């Protein structure tokens, strides 16, 4: 059952595993497995563990229908968390900012609580959470009274869940056999923009008169990044509510439960999430507008060709078809951030961080870039460049260019890595610079700690990017960039960091993974009947499996070779035979051409005179001690992949080379294990070296290199890591090292 639960298998797949096991084992008559998965699930559901039990509470009755909150006691949840030693060792009892502590007894402590909220799209429930009201007809559904009931139901549900923490004179929790007196306080609420509006009871539409839940900026002033604004708080918002003029502040005429919670400004506490705000927000827009610019310049195809030609890397998605904006995730947008500077239109003429940046601002930036490229008729060129980005293990391959509608937050982050190279040197003023400034701003947003001087530097980076973003894309956007996320990022993120700490502390990505595991996947596995009950049962089964899991002991990893290509005794005839093999990539052939000379040089360094009896094994892959995979592969998913590497140079050799803080760069041609009689095996890579371009060794803060006709065997042990090298498009033998 652990296999079925942990891998989210449905009953059909689970029953197939049982059938296969019973058929091929000798235990078919005494099988330890259940008769079928349904029986196994029912058995697990009978296991009664008190701390995992759920209750339900009728929070509202409407049209003769009861609406329930399914819940666990929040005090019991906190008690379970505080019994976890890993959590307890990081528990803070005193805080640098003692504002909340001054409001309680000297003998008590503050218990800081972070809330997370995300809506889930389901087939039957819609995009909602907590109880959802059903209208008796379409007329009632559209009425203001019904919408007000829905909002009240949400806040009443939250009130029921949280009230036990705020009733009475604090709460006691037993920690290390000692009762400690706490006053719970909500520190932040991590969510995307629509959920933030639900908590603050402001209008969600970007077209409302006052669309920002942080302040009272008018919609017409969203693009003015230097205007003074009035911040929202529970005092001035309650004045509008009490006078029945909430609409004058873009506020719903509903009593906000969070006004009653001490030491909380709900309007400031709903902090921006980087993934939705940047990765899937502003960067997405930036890409879209860039594409529009390229279309106008007739350069879009060229750009997609460049993106598709970005070399592979293990940590970068391959956009082999160019940019398809509708399909990008936040991770893919982050990969695009890495590459989007390298487009030559002269030749082409052709706060939550995830939601706020990856899926927010960067999403806009990509969209507007695409629009610019359309106008310049350069969009195809851009997609060609993106498709040409070399592979890397940590980068998505956009081999068909950019398809924005399909990108996730992770893929947007991949785009951040490459866009700076993809739009390089195109005939659009400041297009490369807006991606350079985006990356500078984004890297600063990931800092773990901020001093006041750091915040001033960060605000300047935000303003510099914002000025260029508005200058480039204002006329591309139908709304002229009147985006609440753009306004809130420029105006409010630095003050939010001052109040609540670094953005890394309130990114939603950790909670998104939990939401996926404990809400989205269980919902999909249900039969859509009594959904809440089935979700609760799924969560309990996961807890049972997790409780009984036996931890595996990890052993240190040595070099692990895979996919052996050749195994032969060293001879010139064997080398010559491989040099003319038409099935081998030209890089492998180049490796064989240099093999004997490089081996002689290496053996001379070791004072080994004879290579008699030498046995050579050549592999496609080797896993390094740090877990990175070194590749020399003819055809990896229809494209060659020859890893580029960073090599730690000996101190005595550093004076002979121009290096990057003691690191030199090379491309791997062959991965070998060489054995000589009575010698330990030698784990070597045959490499071709890169050298810095002397006139401009660094561009966009990245090393600018060229391949030189220098070849050596080096010890695999000396390889620091694999790196991602991206071609300087429309230039001969020029490459960027992607940071």
Boundaries of every domain in the chain: 53-128+156-190, 191-271, 274-500, 561-738
| Mean pLDDT calculated for residue range 676-698 | 91
Angle, helices 531-547/37-45, rounded to nearest 10 degrees: 80
Higher-confidence residue of 40 and 441: namely 441
| Mean pLDDT calculated for residue range 323-350 | 54
What would the two tokens of residue 474 be? 């204002």
What would the two tokens of residue 412 be? 């947007």
| Mean pLDDT calculated for residue range 96-117 | 84
Give the span between the Cα atoms of 94 and 100, in whole angstroms. 10
Q: Which pLDDT belongs to residue 122?
A: 47
Give the span between the Cα atoms of 515 and 523, in whole angstroms. 11
Give the span between the Cα atoms of 620 and 63, in whole angstroms. 67
Task: Answer whether 626's CB lies under 8 Å from 721's CB.
Answer: yes
| Mean pLDDT calculated for residue range 117-134 | 57
The closest of 490, 424, 427 to 227, measured between CA atoms, is 490
Please say whether the dihedral angle defined by the alpha carbons of residues 564, 569, 570 and 572, taken in this order, is positive or negative: negative
The closest of 429, 440, 416, 419 to 473, measured between CA atoms, is 429
Task: Answer whether 725's CB lies under 8 Å from 736's CB.
Answer: yes
Task: Answer whether 689's CB lies under 8 Å from 735's CB.
Answer: no
Give the span between the Cα atoms of 233 and 250, in whole angstroms. 13
Give the span between the Cα atoms of 378 and 343, in whole angstroms. 9
Task: Answer whether 520's CB lies under 8 Å from 120's CB.
Answer: yes
| Mean pLDDT calculated for residue range 100-125 | 77
The closest of 404, 405, 400 to 389, measured between CA atoms, is 400
pTM (global) more than 0.75: no
Give the span between the Cα atoms of 351 and 501, in whole angstroms. 12
| Mean pLDDT calculated for residue range 346-361 | 57
The closest of 260, 441, 424, 480 to 358, measured between CA atoms, is 441
pLDDT above 70: percentage of residues in the chain: 84
Q: Which pLDDT belongs to residue 104?
A: 86
Q: Which of 394-403, 457-466, 514-523, 572-581 has the highest mean pLDDT?
A: 457-466
Examine the pLDDT at 569 and tell me if it is beyond 50: yes
What would the two tokens of residue 300 be? 């879009």
**Which residues 6+ apart lie within 8 Å of 29 measured at CB?**
none
Helices (DSSP H) in 309-374: which residue ranges? 330-336, 345-348, 364-367, 371-374
Least-confidence region, from 180-189, 201-210, 214-223, 298-307: 298-307
Give the span between the Cα atoms of 446 and 17, in whole angstroms. 44
Q: Which pLDDT belongs to residue 260?
A: 92
Give the span between the Cα atoms of 239 and 21, in whole angstroms. 69
Instruction: Provide the pairing of β-strand 178-190 with 109-116.
Output: parallel
Instruction: Give 576-602 pLDDT, tens digit per residue.
Output: 888 888 888 899 999 999 999 999 999
Residue 403 in 3-state DSSP? Answer: strand
Q: Which pLDDT belongs to residue 355?
A: 67
Higher-confidence residue of 320 and 13: namely 13
Examine the pLDDT at 418 and tell me if it is beyond 80: yes
Q: What are phi and psi of 680, to 5 degrees?
A: -70, 150
Q: Which pLDDT belongs to residue 341?
A: 58
Give the span between the Cα atoms of 200 and 202, in whole angstroms. 6
Q: Which pLDDT belongs to residue 735?
A: 92
SS (H, E, C) 143-155: CHHHHHHHHHHHH
| Mean pLDDT calculated for residue range 333-360 | 56
Q: What are phi and psi of 376, to 5 degrees?
A: -90, 0
The closest of 333, 329, 226 to 290, measured between CA atoms, is 333
Give the span between the Cα atoms of 699 and 440, in whole angstroms. 14
Q: What are phi and psi of 481, to 5 degrees?
A: 65, 30
| Position 346 confidence tier, pLDDT thresholds 50, 70, 90 | very low
Higher-confidence residue of 62 and 552: namely 62
| Mean pLDDT calculated for residue range 200-215 | 92
**Which residues 6+ apart lie within 8 Å of 110 measured at CB?**
95, 100, 101, 104, 182, 183, 185
Least-confidence region, from 80-94, 118-132, 142-156: 118-132
Opening angle at CA 56, ends 52 and 57, nearest 5 = 140
Give the span between the Cα atoms of 367 and 677, in whole angstroms. 62
Instruction: Give 280-304 pLDDT, tens digit per residue.
Output: 888 888 888 888 888 887 787 888 8
Task: Answer whether 379's CB lies under 8 Å from 262's CB.
Answer: no
What would the two tokens of residue 647 be? 């090599």
Task: Answer whether 211's CB lies under 8 Å from 258's CB.
Answer: no
Q: Which residue in the block uniquely carries the two structure tokens 């506020």?
A: 251
Examine the pLDDT at 553 and tell me if it is beyond 50: no
Query: Residue 350 has what DSSP assignment?
Result: -
Least-confidence region, from 161-170, 241-250, 326-335, 336-345: 336-345
Task: Answer whether 504's CB lies under 8 Å from 446's CB.
Answer: yes
| Mean pLDDT calculated for residue range 379-393 | 77
Give the span between the Cα atoms of 133 and 148, in whole angstroms. 11
Give the span between the Cα atoms of 325 and 384, in whole angstroms. 15
Q: Kindly report the CATH class assigned to 561-738.
A: mainly beta
| Position 216 confidence tier, pLDDT thresholds 50, 70, 90 | very high
| Mean pLDDT calculated for residue range 343-371 | 63
Q: Which pLDDT belongs to residue 350?
A: 25
Higher-confidence residue of 66 and 329: namely 66
The closest of 343, 334, 433 to 385, measured between CA atoms, is 343
Task: Answer whether 193's CB lies under 8 Å from 511's CB.
Answer: no
Q: Which pLDDT belongs to residue 336?
A: 63
Please say whether the dihedral angle defined by the alpha carbons of residues 631, 634, 637 and 638, taken in this order, is positive or negative: positive
Which of 310-323 are b and which e, b meaning 16 or more Cβ less than 10 Å from the residue's Cβ? Answer: bbbbbbbbbbbbbb
Radius of gyration of the chain (CA): 30
Task: Answer whether 308's CB lies under 8 Å from 254's CB.
Answer: no
């Amino acid at each position: 059952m652990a296999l079925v639960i942990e891998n989210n298998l449905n009953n059909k797949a689970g029953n197939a595993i049982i059938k296969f096991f019973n058929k091929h084992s000798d235990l078919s008559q005494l099988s330890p497995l259940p008769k079928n998965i349904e029986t196994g699930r029912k058995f697990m559901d009978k296991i009664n563990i008190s701390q995992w039990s759920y209750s339900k509470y009728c929070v509202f009755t409407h049209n003769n229908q009861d609406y329930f909150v399914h819940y666990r006691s929040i005090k019991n949840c906190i008690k379970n968390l505080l019994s976890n030693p890993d959590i307890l060792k990081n528990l803070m009892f005193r805080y640098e900012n003692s504002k909340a502590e001054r409001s309680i007894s000297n003998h008590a402590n503050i218990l800081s609580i972070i809330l997370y909220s995300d809506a889930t799209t389901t087939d039957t429930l819609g995009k909602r959470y907590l109880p959802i009201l059903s209208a008796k007809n379409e007329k009632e559904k559209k009425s203001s009274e019904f919408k007000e009931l829905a909002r009240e139901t949400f806040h009443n549900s939250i009130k029921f869940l949280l009230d036990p923490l705020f009733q009475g004179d604090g709460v006691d929790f037993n920690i290390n056999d000692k009762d400690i007196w706490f006053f719970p306080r909500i520190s932040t609420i991590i969510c995307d923009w629509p959920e933030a509006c639900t908590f603050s009871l402001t209008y969600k539409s970007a077209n409302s008169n006052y669309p920002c839940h942080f302040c009272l900026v008018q919609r017409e002033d969203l693009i003015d990044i230097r205007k003074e604004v009035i911040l929202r708080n529970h005092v001035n918002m309650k004045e509008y509510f009490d006078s029945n003029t909430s609409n004058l502040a873009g506020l719903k005429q509903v009593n906000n439960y969070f006004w009653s919670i001490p030491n909380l400004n709900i309007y400031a506490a709903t902090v921006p999430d980087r993934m939705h705000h940047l990765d899937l927000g502003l960067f997405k827009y930036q890409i879209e507008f860039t594409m529009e610019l390229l279309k106008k310049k007739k350069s879009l195809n060229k750009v997609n060709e460049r993106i598709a030609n970005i070399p592979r890397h293990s940590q970068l998605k391959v956009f082999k078809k160019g940019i398809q904006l509708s399909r990008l995730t936040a991770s893919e947008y982050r990969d695009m951030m890495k590459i989007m500077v390298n487009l030559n239109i002269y030749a082409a003429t052709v706060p939550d961080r995830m939601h706020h940046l990856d899926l927010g601002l960067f999403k806009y930036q990509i969209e507007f870039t695409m629009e610019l490229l359309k106008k310049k008729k350069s969009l195809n060129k851009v997609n060609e460049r993106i498709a040409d980005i070399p592979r890397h293990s940590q980068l998505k391959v956009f081999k068909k260019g950019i398809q924005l509608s399909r990108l996730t937050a992770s893929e947007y982050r991949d785009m951040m890595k490459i866009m700076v190279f993809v739009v390089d040197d195109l005939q659009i003023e400041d297009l490369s610079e807006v991606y350079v400034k985006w990356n500078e701003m984004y890297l600063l947003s990931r800092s773990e700690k901020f001093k006041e001087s750091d915040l001033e530097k960060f605000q300047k980076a935000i303003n510099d990017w914002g000025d260029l973003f508005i200058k480039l894309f204002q006329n591309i956007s139908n709304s002229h960039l009147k985006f609440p996320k753009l306004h809130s990022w420029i105006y409010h993120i630095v003050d939010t960091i001052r109040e609540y700490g670094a953005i890394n502390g309130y990114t939603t990505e950790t909670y998104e993974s939990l939401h996926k595991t404990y809400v989205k996947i269980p919902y999909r596995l249900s039969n859509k009947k009594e959904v809440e009950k089935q979700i609760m049962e799924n969560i309990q089964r996961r807890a049972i499996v997790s409780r009984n899991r036996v931890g595996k002991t990890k052993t240190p990893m040595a070099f692990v070779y895979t996919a052996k290509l050749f195994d032969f005794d060293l001879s010139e005839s064997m080398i010559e035979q491989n040099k003319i093999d038409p099935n081998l990539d030209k890089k492998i052939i180049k490796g064989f051409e240099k093999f004997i000379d490089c081996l002689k040089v290496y053996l001379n360094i070791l004072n080994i005179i004879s290579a008699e009896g030498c046995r050579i094994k050549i592999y496609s892959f080797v896993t390094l001690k740090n877990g990175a995979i070194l590749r020399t592969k003819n055809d990896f998913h229809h494209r060659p992949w020859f890893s580029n590497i960073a090599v730690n140079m000996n101190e005595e050799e550093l004076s002979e080379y121009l290096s990057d803080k003691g690191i030199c760069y090379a491309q791997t041609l062959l991965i070998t294990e060489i054995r000589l009689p009575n010698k330990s095996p030698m784990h070597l890579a045959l490499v071709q070296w890169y050298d810095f371009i002397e006139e401009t060794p660094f561009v966009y803060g990245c090393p600018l290199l060229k391949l030189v006709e220098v070849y050596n065997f080096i010890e695999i042990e000396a390889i620091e890591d694999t790196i991602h090298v991206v071609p300087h498009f429309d230039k001969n033998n020029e490459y960027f090292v992607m940071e």
